[in-house]
A and B are shown apart, each in its own frame.
Chain A
Amino acid sequence: MAVKKFVVGVFTDEEVLFPAVKKVRSAGYKIHEVYTPMPIHGLDHALGLRETSLHTAGFIYGITGTTTALSCIGWIFNSDWPINFGGKSHFDLPAWIPITFELTVLFSAVGMVLTFCYLCQLAPFVRRHHFNLRSTDDQFTMVIECTDKTNEADVTAFLQSVGATGINTQIAETGWWLGRYDKEKVPFEQKALA
């Protein structure tokens, strides 16, 4: 993963954060991420993130479950081992509804949670750089990525003007990793920006 430089602005109130996000974006800075202790409705739109397609994935997993149940039971009762239950039809659809329903829900739920974990890269033992430990407590953290053209002092001053209470610069590895895998054996925190 690339080691990059970030300017980190801390906000204490989401009502200050919202206009700040707008101003920072219209000033042309690249917001790497905003970390919040709880979901804030509308922040994703303010950041210009697109809607998630997780629902669609859930629907696809669901119908996979439906077809799995119906085709398996249908094949078992009609061709693999047709048992005569008191002369009743081998294609006994109403009696299959409960299992079909349960498998629809099961496939959809398990599939969605796995997809969620994959998309967000969440798993046990995954490590990430956390810019501000209090962003899971009571602070809202806006992280701005520095590019070649960015003037760090300008960004700091700008963040101050939009209401950030604490501002610092961090060099961090983005993304996630399992343990440390740097070939040079230098912890990423100490690695200078290339």
Chain B
Amino acid sequence: MASLRYESQVRAPLVDGHKDYHQVTEDIVHPIEAAPTRAWWIGFIISVACLTFGIISVTHEVIYGVGQWNLNRTIGWGWDITNFVWWVGIGHAGTLISAILLLFRQGWRTGVNRAAEAMTIFAVMCAGQFPIWHMGRVWMAFFVMPYPNTRGPLWPNFNSPLLWDVFAISTYFTVSLLFWYSGLLPDLATVRDRAKLKWRKAFYGVASFGWSGSTKHWQRHEALSLVLAGLSTPLVLSVHTIVSFDFATSVIPGWHTTIFPPYFVAGAIFSGFAMVQTLLLVTRKVLKLEDYITMEHIEVMNKVIVLTGSIVGVAYLTELFISWYGQNKFEGWAFAQNRVNIFSPYGWSYYLMMGCNVLSPQIFWFRKMRRNITVTFFMSVLVNIGMWFERFVIIVTSIYRDYLPSSWSTYYAPTIWEIGFYIGTFGLFFTCYFLFSKFFPVIAIAEIKHILKKSGESYKDKMTNIEGESVEDFAHEYAHAH
């Protein structure tokens, strides 16, 4: 009988090894059922330690005020907003993989989407910390929410990009969480139905919401995923667009740029894919999932990195060109003196950004490099360093030497509490990721099964027979299969 699904031989398999449905379940659920490894414990303890440092730093800042950070009237936004934009950007790759690639029917997303979506959620959680604690009087954070109150009622300013940000980030977090968890339900049910231990049966029984896998449920689940993907696609583009509006709608030279929205979105996807690479290269090795996160997946993601890295490069050059072509003295100063001039106080950061984001990813034009795990890992870290400096360059080098030379502030350096806060978000991110990789299936089991007979290595052989058939024979068999 002809297979129900057909995929060309030319495409490399997405699931290596000769797997059947049961083997897929075994492989992916195994890390959940096995005791945590020594590597997991070491990583987890280090993450919790970083998180503790972060909590101490934030507590210190709350008790003594934002003055504990080295910000001043000139550099009002420093590390905190840099870190905020950096973390939000990282989140974008998860939604791109889970939503945009679903709409484009890219089969390879199934191997990496679950972990990437989890990464999105944790990254957005980390990002949200920065504006919240930067408020200083954090107990009044609820003032940003519009609700009828006894202060007038006094409403937030709906025309302000900072309020747009509140709505964008909270919507993004909520929708990503719903998308991720609704996709997790069938896989949690798989874990539940295999569970031998009582607590595990109970825990996954509650977590899987009583999923049964009936045809009607699947039909609705598919409809839900597709519409959520359709909603998330413009959403993810809007989120970083709105983050860029925080800068672009202001009148600060270096921020007041119409190119920001597409440039920020490309940069976000660029850094997000780098973070996905960093996490998945380790995950596939530690959890022994090399058959599911294959060299094909790594290569495809490296292609995305070289594409988005080059888009970011074009944006940098366009920005430079426009600052000269526009002949605005102040904007010209921001670019020529504050950034490009390597002897200026922060000139080095501009070249670090250029080197990491524009030059280094060009190595991925070579297939050998795209398929080299060491190079990929090294590059993924380098890209995220570069993208952190991009935000630093945009924020700090635009404002540290402003219109009035007497208020120039050329020696901004973070205090230990700013650094501790940043390290703390790493702790939060990795603590969540370690817990996720221990208690949840890091690969979408049902989705892998869905593509297994089309893209699995053992089923690819069958395709050879089909390709050898005449068109009439194939049509005949296919008609009978249905």
Contact = CB atoms under 8 A, between A and B. Distances in A.
Interface of A: 14-15, 18, 33-40, 42-44, 47, 49, 51-52, 54-55, 58, 62, 72-73, 76-77, 80-81, 83, 85, 88, 92, 95-96, 98-99, 101-103, 105-106, 108-110, 112-113, 116-117, 119-128, 130, 133-138, 176
A7 B223 CA distance: 30
B153 A137 contact: no
A15 B2 CA distance: 9
Main secondary structure of the interface of B (DSSP, over half): helix
Interface stretch (B132-140, B322-330, B355-363, B443-451): B443-451
A120 B217 CA distance: 6
B36 interface: no
Contacts of B198: none
A82 to B, nearest CB: 11
Interface of B: 1, 3-4, 20-22, 25, 146, 152-155, 157-159, 161, 163-164, 167-168, 171, 174-175, 178-179, 182, 185-186, 189-190, 192-194, 205-207, 209-224, 227-228, 231-232, 234-235, 238, 242, 245, 445-447, 449-450, 481-482
A116 B213 contact: no
Identify which of B20, B190, B215 gathers the most chain A CB atoms within 10 Å of its CB: B215
B245 A98 contact: yes
Nearest to B158: A73
Q: Can you list the 6 inter-chain pairs with the closest CB atoms, starting with the nearest?
A: A138-B21, A126-B210, A122-B209, A38-B449, A138-B22, A98-B164
16 contacts: A15-B1, A37-B186, A38-B447, A38-B449, A49-B219, A83-B157, A102-B171, A105-B231, A116-B221, A122-B185, A124-B207, A128-B210, A134-B193, A136-B193, A137-B21, A138-B22
A44 B219 contact: yes
B220 A125 contact: no
B158 A76 contact: yes
Nearest to A73: B158
Given A37-B449, A54-B224, A102-B167, A138 B20 contact: yes
A137 to B, nearest CB: 5
Contact of A105 (B164, B171, B190, B450): B171
Contacts of A47: 215
Contact of A136 (B178, B213, B238): B213
A63 to B, nearest CB: 13
Given A81-B153, A96-B158, A102-B168, A112 B214 contact: no
Given A34-B214, A37-B213, A136 B174 contact: no
A38 B450 contact: yes
Contacts of B224: 54, 112-113, 116
Contact of A98 (B146, B168, B182, B221): B168
A92 B159 contact: yes
A32 to B, nearest CB: 9
Contacts of A112: 224, 227-228
A36 B213 contact: yes
A81 B146 CA distance: 13
B450 A39 contact: yes
Given A80-B155, A108-B231, A130-B212, 18 more contacts: A37-B186, A38-B450, A39-B218, A39-B222, A44-B219, A92-B159, A95-B158, A96-B159, A99-B158, A102-B238, A121-B210, A122-B211, A126-B210, A136-B192, A136-B193, A136-B213, A137-B193, A137-B194
A69 B259 CA distance: 28
A117 B209 contact: yes
B209 A18 contact: no
A62 to B, nearest CB: 8
Contacts of A99: 158, 163-164, 167
Contacts of A81: 152-155
Contact of B220 (A72, A98, A116): A116
A38 B215 CA distance: 9
